[in-house]
C-alpha cells in the first residue's frame, strides 16, 4: 500500500490525510496572517504553518503560505524530502483555496 506516502503526519502523531482536517485561525487579520493548526487539540506544536495575505483596499489577497520547519522536517524524514515537499505544497494549495477570502475582505466593525 502506498497510502502511507500520501499522508502527512504531525510530529505529535496525528495523521492528516485530508487538508480539510487542519484548523485555520483567522485571528491575525491585523497581521495579515492566518494560522494553520494541527487538528489534534493537545498537540504540542499546534501551529504547523501560516498563510499570509495582503489587503488592498477592502480586498484580501493571497500572498504566501508555508509550513514551519519542524513539521516539514518530520515529514521529510517519513516519506523523503521530495514526496514531503510535493505533499505539503498540495496541502497548502488546498487550504488556501478553502480560505474564506470574502470574510477577510470585509472591514471590521468599528473601523472606517
Ligand atoms: Zn500535532
Angle, helices 81-98 vs 69-79, to 10°: value is 130
Which residues surround the ion ligand 1 when the cut-off is CB under 5 Å? 10, 12, 14, 38, 40, 43
Give the distance (Å) from ligand 1 centre to CA of residue 42. 7
Q: Output the CA 4–ligand 1 centroid distance in Å.
A: 17
Q: What is the DSSP letter of 108?
A: P
- Tell me how far CA of residue 53 lies from CA of 42, 73, 81, 95, 105, in angstroms: 28, 25, 27, 13, 10
Q: Could you tell me the distance, in angstroms and rounded to a whole number, from the CA of residue 48 to the centre of ligand 1?
A: 8
C-alpha of residue 44 to centroid of ligand 1, in Å: 6
pLDDT at 68: 97
Q: How close is the Cα of 72 to the center of ligand 1, in Å?
A: 12
Mean pLDDT by 10 residues, the chain (112 residues): 71 95 83 93 96 88 95 96 95 93 70 44
Distance CA 109, CA 112 (A): 8
Amino acid at each position: 500500500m502506498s497510502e502511507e506516502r500520501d499522508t502527512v503526519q504531525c510530529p505529535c502523531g496525528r495523521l492528516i490525510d485530508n487538508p480539510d482536517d487542519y484548523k485555520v485561525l483567522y485571528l491575525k487579520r491585523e497581521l495579515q496572517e492566518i494560522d494553520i493548526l494541527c487538528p489534534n487539540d493537545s498537540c504540542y506544536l499546534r501551529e504547523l504553518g501560516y498563510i499570509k495575505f495582503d489587503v488592498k483596499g477592502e480586498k484580501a489577497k493571497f500572498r504566501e503560505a508555508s509550513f514551519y520547519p519542524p513539521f516539514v522536517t518530520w515529514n521529510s524524514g517519513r516519506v523523503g524530502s521530495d514526496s514531503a515537499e510535493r505533499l505539503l505544497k498540495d496541502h497548502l494549495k488546498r487550504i488556501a483555496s478553502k480560505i474564506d477570502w470574502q470574510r477577510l475582505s470585509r472591514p471590521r466593525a468599528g473601523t472606517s
